[in-house]
Amino acid sequence: MDFLRPASWEEALAAKAEHPTAVPIAGGTDVMVEINFDHRRPEYLLDLNRIGELYEWEVGERDVRLGAAVPYTRIMDHLRAELPGLALASHTVGSPQIRNRGSVGGNLGAASPAGDAHPALLAAGADVEAVSVRGTRLIPVEEFYTGVKRNALEPDELIRAVRIRKADGPQAFSKVGTRNAMVIAVCAFGLALHPGTRTVRTGIGSAAPTPVRARAAEDFLQAALAEGGFWDSGRIITPSVARQFAELAAGACNPIDDVRGSAEYRRHAVAVMARRTLGWTWDAYRGNERSASCA
Amino acid sequence: MRVNFTVNGRPQEADDVWEGESLLYVLRERLGLPGSKNACEQGECGSCTVRLDGVPVCACLVAAGQVEGRAVDTVEGLADYAGRRSAGGRAGTARGTDIDEARRWQARPPGARTAELSPVQQAFIDAGAVQCGFCTPGLLVAADELLERNAEPSDADIREALSGNLCRCTGYEKILDAVRLAAARADRAEEAV
Ligand SMILES: Cc1cc2nc3c(=O)[nH]c(=O)nc-3n(C[C@H](O)[C@H](O)[C@H](O)COP(=O)(O)OP(=O)(O)OC[C@H]3O[C@@H](n4cnc5c(N)ncnc54)[C@H](O)[C@@H]3O)c2cc1C
Ligand code: FES
Ligand code: FES
């Protein structure tokens, strides 16, 4: 095994081009487990720890450009306002020690259907900045997940950053597991209201081979909110609308039975989380509406 | 490969390191610092918790090559680290526990002069938070970092900060007591000044 330690982003890209089989290592919270247990013996490890820009973020007009290796702890501490869904999801990852090292770039690299960043990214709207010596591609996050633990990166590409839409409304994240810390999601759900465009986006984790959006549920809810004039009135969402939204969200799942839960349980839990996160976010929206109209 | 880094304030060089090796292995097997424990090697138990440039991490999940040029603090250096902190110096720069000193270290028989302990270590003993002791080093490092960051942690803060450390013996209550005790003593010491 060889340990490649590029000192700059350009060097990292050159190394990846020269050694396409090199395994990047950022926080190492996925990679090192595989190496410790001899599940993986890469020819090259490509260390990203020395590349400063991967640990930085920029808050722009529309997006936060989040460096691939920014640890979850920093997202929780510094980006809660801009990325509330991702900050909530980050807080559920592993433990403080894991959150101090683990990163969204690593979550995307691993592309586990259970990765907690994914539902939040899907709900907020995001593009993965994939870079190689050949150039930069922006991959919409919903196209990034191509199969169980597979992603759309080419062998010579690295993730430079994720461009995540800044929140323009309330967001929520919910995760089912056996306890509060150190839990791989049985399933997870992210929801973002986008009052600016009067749209709603969702993300489901651990209930299909890849993280997915519940598109039929989104379409239904958007239409129902528009037709009922809910965005303007800020009225409580009719229970039947919430119920149908939840059923459609469960319908987007294609889960399996495994040690963490049965397929049936996962479908049920996704419906419950969909209904609850809609309640939480809509309450927050109504609260803001009311305070805005009072002002 | 060779790795140069700072351990408990002292420059160290580890040779013949395998490229896939963890920081935990380097500390325990190459530098003779077995304080950080190896229980799971998958980040689940926290018994290998050390500070990397001040940040608590699982040493079993850090690749040895990633610590080149960086500062690691382990439980062996905790008393010293706490001492430097209370002396107002930036922890991580002054003298640490010498590797040879650490190797020579032996538990003293009861009654003999006890080794110098950090406030958190003393609190763990006084509160009865140590049973088999396997989880203790990781918990000490995590608890010490919590109290450095947050001198008056709520119970929720303590639980959160220690949520990455498993203990099979104590049932955690005495561990929570120990952290509260350390916080209370620091508080009193502060008032006395
Ligand atoms: C005890 C424990 C608990 C955990 N709990 C959770 C949890 O609750 N939720 C959760 O989602 N995950 C969890 N994980 C998994 C892991 O922490 C996350 O997936 C994390 O986001 C990985 O980030 P990392 O920086 O450590 O990745 P690494 O291990 O460094 O890398 C992971 C993968 O991504 C690739 N990669 C990393 N950076 C890049 C890049 N810039 N470009 C291209 N490829 C890249 C690597 O080659 C590798 O394939 C847990 C892990 C452990 C050990
Ligand atoms: S040995 Fe590192 S967390 Fe268990
Ligand atoms: S005292 Fe035995 S594991 Fe904690």
| pLDDT for the residue numbered B149 | 96
Q: Where in chain A are the domains?
A: 171-294
CA distance A235 to A170: 16
Residues of chain A with a CB closer than 8 angstroms to some CB in chain B: 1-3, 5, 25, 27-29, 31-33, 35-37, 41, 45, 47, 49, 94-98, 100-101, 180-182
Q: List chain A residues with CB under 8 Å of B18.
A: 1
- Classified by CATH at the fold level, domain A171-294 comes out as Enolase-like; domain 1 (3.30.390)
Q: List chain B residues with CB under 8 Å of A100.
A: 55-57
Quote ipTM for the complex: 0.94
List, for residues A3-45, the tens digit of each pLDDT value.
999 999 999 999 999 999 999 999 999 999 999 999 999 999 9
| Nearest partner of A236 among A156, A166, A290, A172, judged by Cα | A290
Residue B177 near residue B127 (C-beta atoms within 8 A) = yes
Q: Across the interface, which of A28, A33, A96 has its CB nearest the CB of B164?
A: A96
Cβ–Cβ of A97/B62 closer than 8 Å?
no
> What are the phi and psi torsion angles at A137 (to 5°)?
-120, 145
Instruction: Name every residue whose Cβ is closer than 8 Å to that of residue B145 and which is 6 or more positions away in sequence.
Output: B51, B54, B56, B161
Calculate how far, in angstroms, residue A182's C-alpha sits from the geometric centre of ligand 1. Answer: 14
pTM: 0.94
Q: Which of residues 87-106 of B touch A (CB under 8 A)?
A: none
> Domains of chain B by range and CATH?
3-104 (3.10.20.30), 119-192 (1.10.150.120)
Q: Is the pLDDT of residue A295 over 50?
A: no
| Nearest partner of B78 among B182, B189, B170, judged by Cα | B182
Q: List chain B residues with CB under 8 Å of A28.
A: 61-63, 66
| pLDDT for the residue numbered B93 | 45
Atom nearest to B164 CA in ligand 2: 3
List of long-range contacts for A243-246, beta carbons under 8 Å, 24+ apart: A243/A275, A244/A220, A245/A217, A245/A220, A245/A221, A245/A274, A245/A275, A245/A278, A246/A217, A246/A271, A246/A272, A246/A274, A246/A275, A246/A278
Q: Which residue of B has its CA nearest to A35?
A: B20
Average pLDDT over every residue of A259-276: 96
CA distances from A278 to A182, A250, B57 (A): 26, 14, 36
Ligand nearest to the CA of B66: 1
Which helix (H) or strand (E) segment holds residue A232: the answer is helix A230-233
How high does pLDDT run on average in chain B? Answer: 91
Task: Indicate if the alpha-carbon torsion angle A143, A146, A149, A152 is positive or negative.
Answer: negative
Q: Which residue of A has its CA nearest to B164?
A: A95
**Beta-carbon-side half-sphere exposure of residue A228 (alpha carbons within 13 Å):** 18
